[in-house]
Amino acid sequence: MTLARHTGAALLVAVVIFVLTIRLGPFRDYQIAEVAAYVTAVAGLTYLIGLSGQISIGHGAFMAIGAYASALLLLHLHWPLEAVFATSALAGAAAGGIIGVAAARLRGPYLAGATLLLAVALPSLADKYAGVFGGDQGLSVSVTTPAWLGVSFPPTRWLAWLTCAAALVTLVLLANLGRSRIGRSWRALRDNEVAASLAGLNVARMQILAFVVSSACAGLGGALLAVVTDIVSPGNFTLTLSISLLTAAILGGLGSLAGALWGGLVLVFVPTYVQDVATSHGLSSAASSNVPIAAYGVVLILVMLLFPSGIQGGLRRLLGPVAPAASAPFNALRRHAPASEHQEEGTT
Amino acid sequence: MQEFLEFALGGLAVGMIYAAIGLSLVLIWRGTRILNYSQGGMAMFTTYVALIVINHTGNYWEGFGAALAAGLLLGAVLERVVIRPIENKPPLNAVIVTIGLLIFLEGLAGIIYGGQFRSFPPAFSIVGLSVGHTALGISRTDLFTAAAVLTAALLLAALFRFTAVGLRLRATAFAPNVARLLGVRIGRVLTLGWALAGLIGALAGVLVTPSTFLYPNSMDSIFVLGFTAAVIGGLESPVGAIVGGLVLGVVLNLAGGYLGSDLVPMFGLAALMLVLMVRPSGLFSTTAVRQV
Amino acid sequence: MKRTHRANLALVAGTAVTAMVIAACGSSGTSTPSSSPSAGASSSSSAALTASAPGITATTITIGSHQPLTGVAAPGYDEIAPASNAYFQYVNAHGGIYGRKIVYKFLNDQYNPTDTSTVVHQLVLQDNVYAIFNGLGTPTHLAVAPFLNAQKVPDVFVASGCECWNAPAKWPDTYGWQLDYIREGKILGQYVAQHFKGKKIGYFSQDDEFGMDGVKGLDDEIPKSQVVARQTYNPTNVNVGPQVAALKAAGAQVVISFSVPAFTALLQLTSLKLKFSPQLVVSDVGSDPTTLGGLLAAFGKSKKLSALTSGIITDGYLPSLGSTNNSWITLFKKIHAQYIPKLPFDGNVAYGLAAGYTFVQAMFKAGRNPTRQDLLNAINGGLPQGPSVAPYAYSATDHNGITGAYIAIIKNGALVQKGPVLVTDTSSSGAITPYTTAQPPAPASGIPAP
């Protein structure tokens, strides 16, 4: 039943997107494709943080793995796109499994630190093994519009369809997962690890599973981004990307797939909007290129001050009854914080 | 042998900077349970202040002092204005707010000072010192850096252990409700914590910027390594931050020297994971974990 | 729970639609770009100005670019586009191109290829620019070169020394401009091989194609047995202590550096710390005396530091900025003082002005009502030498730009030319020959003749 409901909703959204891509111009189609790629990655991340209570500032690394996998497959083996996307997701999942196992004992800021350094270190492998990964110049990815669409079909519209289809499939699967026994187990161990363990949950296995699922989504998102931007290079996967994904997940609303959509929209549209506003005011060059940066920072701060539960939480508050579980998922960073009175001071 | 000496001593010198950033992160974490992602940005901003003063007065030490004062002020102001409203909110919100703060500070520096590289003077000469005929690979400035960071750490430790203010800081960190009941002004103490962290960060900024040149993003990669140092040492422990920084500096220098510079980030990751797999809360943590 | 969930989905769909409709209302122009073969270039000098191609109206020519205006790659490079724009404004103020004004939209990509792809798609699909000019960076531009060629948008004078822009069969719309790194490596390498026979050579290069291509050129000229150390650095890691220590341990007496100015300065400072003083040979981009001097300015305590930039061997493909009697430098200084006085007069500004001049040369040659193909034909037919000391290679089969440079030594903060201009090609066996034709002077008006 749940699957039918989710698939129905996805089909509805698909129709909406179909209409939009035809009505809007080719650049908007390109932006829709970008949003779809980010939403895929952010959706996995928001489940990781929001449902299972683990933080990751390194999901850009998993996107890189999926992106490089897709680039190599397309370049050397010429696989069809569906196979490439599926394999990229699997590659991300495998990496997530390894990291999940290594990080199973880490909590809060220590997990954050480990994933942060992963995001910084992984792209350097592309420079080290430049023969395989193309080094700093990267690998070219090219996706051609299928012939049955006609010669004059706008390429960016095809990109939008492709990426949105992949994103919707991911979202349906994640929605089902979130409502399943696994999703409930994640919420349980997020809220109280000890109680969950007492109740019989295998905490480590559930945590690793959360990592695997989220990094599979990130791997697919990376493949989608590769297809959209036509290139995979270390410069695409800086620490800034991982931070942007985290920002999108939290701004949008943790644990919520709608929140992932808001986050993706913010990532793609807010920086260009702010840049347009700045250039239209005719500021000097140094000022006009930095004003959008400063403004974006202010936007982040203001949104967090005004909507502590993210955009989705704010919308829920404005428009409907507050779902009781909405406020729980935020303790990912305080996982190991002292329940003050009960904890010893443990330092020199 | 000569090479090894140069790598190791150079690593200690650069590790001192990571230690300083790590120290300020530990201060804020212990006090407010927030990871201050903008620590590097704050340090960059106060270094610009120092540069303005140095260019105006021609005196390095006046600029040095100005940076430290600016660090105190910036930390206090940020805590009061930006962090206070979110202190009781979900902690991940604080991550986003500090990230937003970092982006804002970098943009603001770009607007006010422009994006060009600025040259920042070192405290003393940077010409290498030698013992007899062996070049040590460090300079007077490096020795001053080490001394400054260690002095700051010792002063902080003394503050924490031997003064009433320090006691209040520790009380607020570990039992805020009890401290409040006993009359401690929690708000003021938290502001002080951030101010001190701003001071240490500013110190790190003026010490490292001669080697990175000053521009809005100059502290980005230093921050990542300082954060790593704090995590290696354990976020609860100031000594851990120092040790973590030194260990990281030496390991990365040796790796870069003997195995090639392109593997340095992976080595940092490997070192971090090695430490965390053995001690998941850092080297110097002894917090009890309830096992069931 | 069910109701909230369904309401959620409806909310999502509805808001998404609303958001995108709002965005659509704000979007300007939904036309697909056309490679329209409109009525060919009119050659009559009194013909009316028409909108002969996307981005061209009766009064304006709109071009776009992607540049690192903020971020770690910005310092220095963020001066290039404003400098080109200054030259365009100068031309606009003196009659424009056949009366049309140039509108230069350079957007910030923060040196991130993902952002490059976004801004270039915006420029082409939404802003309908006539051409992309001077897109900066190799990994960044590689992200968009296939797209631009598929859309048949002229992609002229890429700001990168990679020789990959010379691919007329694969990328007919793409042209390089600056002296590429392989040629530069060969020219520097030949000088080192001739003047430092028997000495131990060490390489210090950036770990991307800038450094790798430079080293490739060096290896074409310098015997392998002389090279005792090959060190690379990554621009994200400012600690070059290990690399310099390794160069010192290998006993390098000459260090050839394919580095950006920040890392040339770091190389010098770290060498001071390690008491290592080899002869430095630095590639053009990393040796700009104004930038280098600015980076080293605060280290004036040590007496040895005053000698830091003097004596560096480098190459140059534009006239030395310290020349007092070169008509191009005079022209550049005039435009700099009038339009961009706040920027330092350094190598980046000269680069931007010179590239802008080349674009105006090409546009004049393209005709009064040019199509996009007319611009390509104009460049393929060859451009007369401009501010560079060596001629361009442009032809239907060669999309490389400047072909040579002179060797120079830095003295008192300026390049002093040593010997003739040398031209070569990018092959490993291609000869390096002196180019003795004098550089043509700048036009009196500062604007190339139509």
Q: What is the pLDDT of residues B270-282, one digit of tens each?
A: 999 999 988 888 8
Residue C112 contacts A, CB cutoff 8 Å = yes
Q: Spell out which residues of chain C touch residue B216, defining contact as CB-CB under 8 Å.
A: 70
Q: Note the ipTM here.
A: 0.89
Q: Spell out which residues of chain C touch residue A25, defining contact as CB-CB under 8 Å.
A: 24, 27, 29-31, 125-126
Q: What percent of chain B has pLDDT over 90?
A: 51
C166-202 residue pLDDT tens: 999 999 999 999 999 999 999 999 999 999 999 999 9
In chain A, whose CA is at the least distance from the CA of B114?
Answer: A286
What is the reported pLDDT for A280?
A: 67
Average model confidence (pLDDT) across chain B: 89
- In this complex, how many residue pairs, one in chain A and one in chain B, have their CB atoms less than 8 Å apart? 203
Mean pLDDT of C295-308: 69
From C207, C275, C299, residue closest to B130, measured CB to CB:
C275
Mean pLDDT of B195-211: 94
Residue B237: band (very low, low, confident or very high) from pLDDT cuts 50, 70, 90? confident
**Gap from B284 CA to chain C (nearest CA, Å):** 27
Q: Does C26 have pLDDT greater than 90?
A: no
- In this complex, how many residue pairs, one in chain A and one in chain C, have their CB atoms less than 8 Å apart? 147
CA B46 – CA B61 distance, rounded (Å): 14
Question: Does A296 sit within 8 Å of B107, measured CB to CB?
Answer: yes
Q: Does C18 have pLDDT greater than 80?
A: no
Q: Which of B54, B117, B250 to mutate to test the interface with C (most CBs of C within 10 A)?
A: B117
Average model confidence (pLDDT) across chain C: 87
Residue B128: band (very low, low, confident or very high) from pLDDT cuts 50, 70, 90? confident
Residue C20, amino acid = M
pTM of the entire structure?
Answer: 0.89
The most confident of the ranges B138-152, B179-193, C348-362, C422-436 is C348-362
Residue C34: band (very low, low, confident or very high) from pLDDT cuts 50, 70, 90? very low
3-state SS, one letter per residue, for chain C: CHHHHHHHHHHHHHHHHHHHHHHHHHCCCCCCCCCCCCCCCCCCCCCCCCCCCCCECCCEEEEEEEECCCCCCCCCHHHHHHHHHHHHHHHHHCCCECCEEEEEEEEECCCCHHHHHHHHHHHHHHCCCCEEECCECHHHHHHHHHHHHHCCCCEEEEECCCHHHCCCCCCCCEEECCCCHHHHHHHHHHHHHHHCCCCCEEEEEECCHHHHHHHHHHHHHCCHHHEEEEEEECCCCCCCHHHHHHHHHCCCCEEEEECCHHHHHHHHHHHHHCCCCCEEEECHHHCCHHHHHHHHHHHCCCHHHHHCCCCCEEEECCCCCCCCCCHHHHHHHHHHHHHCCCCCCCHHHHHHHHHHHHHHHHHHHHCCCCCHHHHHHHHHCCCCCCCCCCCECCECCECCCECEEEEEEEECCEEEEEEEEEECCCCCCCCCEEECCCCCCCCCCCCCCC
Interface of C with A in 127-186 (CB under 8 A): 138-140, 142-144, 146-147, 150, 162, 164
Q: Which of C2, C12, C158 to mutate to test the interface with A (most CBs of A within 10 A)?
A: C12
B31-83 residue pLDDT tens: 888 889 999 999 999 999 999 999 999 899 999 999 999 999 999 999 999 98
Instruction: Report the CATH superfamily, name and number, of domain C181-316.
Output: Response regulator (3.40.50.2300)
Average model confidence (pLDDT) across chain A: 86
C209-265 residue pLDDT tens: 899 999 999 999 999 999 999 999 988 888 898 899 999 999 999 999 999 999 999
What is the reported pLDDT for A346?
A: 36
Q: Which of A127, A137, A277 to mutate to test the interface with C (most CBs of C within 10 A)?
A: A137
* Domains C7-179+322-402 and C181-316 belong to one CATH topology: yes
Residue C24 contacts A, CB cutoff 8 Å = yes
Q: Report residue A157 as tokens.
A: 């519209």
From B176, B266, B288, residue closest to A121, measured CB to CB:
B266
Give residue limits of the domains in chain A. Answer: 2-347
What is the reported pLDDT for C31?
A: 35
Question: Does B3 sit within 8 Å of C245, measured CB to CB?
Answer: yes
Q: Which of C274, C304, C308 to mutate to test the interface with B (most CBs of B within 10 A)?
A: C274
Question: Does C76 sit within 8 Å of B126, measured CB to CB?
Answer: no
Q: Does A341 have pLDDT greater than 60?
A: no
Question: Does C82 sit within 8 Å of A320, measured CB to CB?
Answer: no
Q: Does A328 have pLDDT greater than 60?
A: no
Fold for A2-347, please state it: ABC transporter involved in vitamin B12 uptake, BtuC (1.10.3470)
Give residue limits of the domains in chain C. Answer: 7-179+322-402, 181-316
Specify the DSSP class assigned to residue B79. I
Question: Does A140 sit within 8 Å of C125, measured CB to CB?
Answer: no
Residue C295 contacts B, CB cutoff 8 Å = yes
A215-261 residue pLDDT tens: 999 999 999 999 999 999 999 999 999 999 999 999 999 989 999 99
Q: Which residue reads 């409907």 in tokens? A: A320
From A154, A236, A319, residue closest to C114, measured CB to CB:
A236
A165-174 residue pLDDT tens: 999 999 999 9
- In this complex, how many residue pairs, one in chain B and one in chain C, have their CB atoms less than 8 Å apart? 129
Residue C207 contacts B, CB cutoff 8 Å = yes
Any idea which of A282-286, B257-261, C424-428 has the lowest mean pLDDT? A282-286
Residue A273: band (very low, low, confident or very high) from pLDDT cuts 50, 70, 90? confident
Q: Does A327 have pLDDT greater than 80?
A: no
- The CA-based diameter of chain A, rounded to the nearest angstrom, is 72
Q: Spell out which residues of chain C touch residue A67, defining contact as CB-CB under 8 Å.
A: none
Interface of C with A in 197-216 (CB under 8 A): 207-209, 212
Mean pLDDT of C74-82: 91
Contact C267, C244 (CB under 8 A): yes
Q: What percent of chain C has pLDDT over 70?
A: 88
Question: Does C117 sit within 8 Å of A228, measured CB to CB?
Answer: yes
The most confident of the ranges A154-163, B134-143, C181-190 is C181-190
Residue C298 contacts B, CB cutoff 8 Å = yes
Question: Does B210 sit within 8 Å of C299, measured CB to CB?
Answer: yes
| Domain C7-179+322-402 grouped into CATH 3.30.70.20 | no
